[in-house]
Structure 1
Amino acid sequence: MSGADADDVLGAALPLEYEEDLNPLMDRIGDARCVLIGEASHGTHEYYAWRSALTRRLIAERGFSIVAVEGDWPDCRRVGRSVTLAPGAARDPRDALNAYARWPTWMWANEETVKFCQWLRARNAGLPSRERAGFYGLDVYSLWESLRAVVDHLAEHRPEYLDTALDAYRCFEPHGEDPQSYGWNTALVPDGCAEEVMELLTRLRRPVPHTVHDPEEEFDARQNAEVAAGAERYYRAMIGGGPDSWNIRDVHMADTLDRLMAFHESEQGKGKAVVWAHNTHVGDARATDMADAGMVNLGQLARERQGRDGVVLVGFAGGPGEVVAAPRWGGPMEVMHVPPPVRGSLEEVLAESELHRGMFIVPPEPDLPSFLTRTLGHRAIGVVYDPDRDRRHYVPTRLADRYDALCWFRITSVLAPLHLEAARRGELETMPSGV
């Protein structure tokens, strides 16, 4: 690294030691309605802790009412009911998070997320129910859980549609909740269960008179049907390989985010959302080699739909340390050593400046330091990681185009899972690996 790079890094860095150091980022966020906050791994304490700190301030100071994460809708719904003090929900969000069973459990069943959700519940307790902030899942994986939730809802509230839901559920039954079995079957029967799921979704999209339903319950049922439809498309696409399954997943997350913001706008008069997801979903794909591979992502779609002024994208980066990950898909979690960054990477440029930790906010002027504008590898550790092949875990990135801000930690530490062992239930691997 050149001395000019070191000078540029140190000249552009803002302090990041205390929560008040987030003030410049809060100023950059301004009146944006959507803030997407990333992570460079699913198992690093610093990313989760500082993401939580920024989110607390956005909720308390800027009126954000949605925390939407890269997690399954049904699991996050249970957490959301706990943090909003819904009748019959867990009194401690720890119990709802500890119930996560689908691999990789450590992504959300960890002490860092517990601490944030306990704070959110305590804050919500002092507010009227219509003003409470919620916790939601954006992901597409929970096909069978979501179908069961739809069946249960319709049996109680809209029995005229129950047969349609049961038809969809029976179509998937022969696959025994095995997404790989369903995916391979659709190679022989290309339409799979698409017709049954779309019929169910069409019925649930029909408006219901407000006098006969709970808006939140109806939204939950419709979203579970949307998940089932998205998951059916996702598992069908997975077998064919290529970017289609990635795009289906990220478009589903973007659509879910739009629905959440619209629902909160209609029910609360505000629909401001914070998103927690991996950098590969949060950072604009057009500033990476993902675009050349035909891939889109959540950050790109949010900017396109909400406008650049309405969205702020915050990335994270880190040097060596420890991380929770698994050596293979569906394998047990391990505490792994993260090696120093590879030569020519963004992380190497930042590390060799000897900056311990700091924040970079992309300025509006066109004359930017070269480390913000040239293409550099940016480390991306998924739930599956092999430290001996670390050089494979870098995404070519133009930082100033990918994010609006970046938080850097020269040394990283492991997050604290609630489970000692990951449950060995999972889905087909995503592209890029495990994010």
Structure 2
Amino acid sequence: MHIASRLSPLPVVALPLALCLLLAATLQLHLPLMLWDHIDLVPIYDAWQRGALAASQFWRIHDGSHFHSAAYAVLLATTWLSGGRPWLDCVAGWAFYALLAWTLWRLVGNGWRGGRVARGWWWAMLLLIAHPGHLANLQWGWQVAVFISLLGAVAPIHWLTLERPTLVLNLAGVVLAIVGVLGFSTTLAAFPVALALIAARGEWSWPRRLLFAWPWLLALGGMVGWLLVARGQPVAMPNVATLALYALNYLGGGVLRFAENLAPWWTLLALSSAVPAALRCRGDARARPWLALMAFALGCALLTALGRAGSFGADHAFVTRYASFALLFWIGWLGLLVLAWGDAGTAWRRWVRPLLLATLFFATANGVHLAKKARTTHQRAAAFAAQIRSGYPQLDEALLAQAYGDRAAAARQRLALLRQWGFAPFDASD
């Protein structure tokens, strides 16, 4: 069955339902206390309460790698409103994710506009957009930064690939991308993508293209300069082979986190298949959203590899929280191949369709795998909360090391503040 409308109506009805199911899963599996990096919010919150926010870590690079100022702003508000219960942090993260999902859905309609796309492929897009792999970030309130970051990239991509983008939308995209960088620095990858989308507008005069491009260039230079100055410490640079393998693992983890040996090869196959698809769509404006999503995800993979591969090795790319970034690559890839080969007859049946169906099977299995990982993480966090609450102030060093890693020493003082404020994992009446 085929349709010719801009948006397929059945998945549009299903998208809100899928988002509600993910919200329910988020609340069920949320981490009930500040764990790992999240404990770094405590001194910032304390400074805010004392009127000394500017002197805190609020505007500084977190852990030597990322800005988190946009996320801090959200988390300070949700922590105050909830009385230190992380469930509201998770709801805020879900709200940004819901905006991201709806923007992606509008982008899908733009990328397949005017085509006859089988309903099954719309359902496939729904799977990738509302994928259980997002639970790794949704369940941990700290990761609101991820969805701020992704929205800061996807919304400008959507606006710049509209048939008639305006200067107002362009400037709004620049502002949103800057906010995205203040969530996660990998949103810097959105800037060259935006510039490429502007340059690809062959129907525009060069003065018009320059008018759209200059705010992006100005913002990119400012953000990179700020990042380099604020970072201040050198990065352990990986060799080219490790860099490439890390990037392939990073993207492959979106659909094959459960089969790590296969993931880089499947990503390489996807990249190879995208080349003839892009050539077939050469000159077709509908291909721009798909190529932009793939390019942004690849940029995130390379930026993360530059920052992490030298210190942690290529297997570090399978960290579950990277799935939210990697899934954008597979959304772009699926959209591009369906656009290019959906009406190609024999070529479609012989190799493209089986490749897409196999990837969707992997994505489904990966969703189950990552949902199970999220449940395990929740169970561990609940156990940490119970042990800290019952054992305080006599806390085992091994427990603190598991819950806070290299922040274990600082966690003792920060847990004392949480207890003083009556924040989780301590009851206000305790």
Q: Normalising by structure 1, what TM-score?
A: 0.28
Which has the bigger relative contact order, CA under 8 A and spacing at least 6?
Answer: 1
Say which structure is richer in helix.
2
**Which structure features the higher share of strand residues?**
1
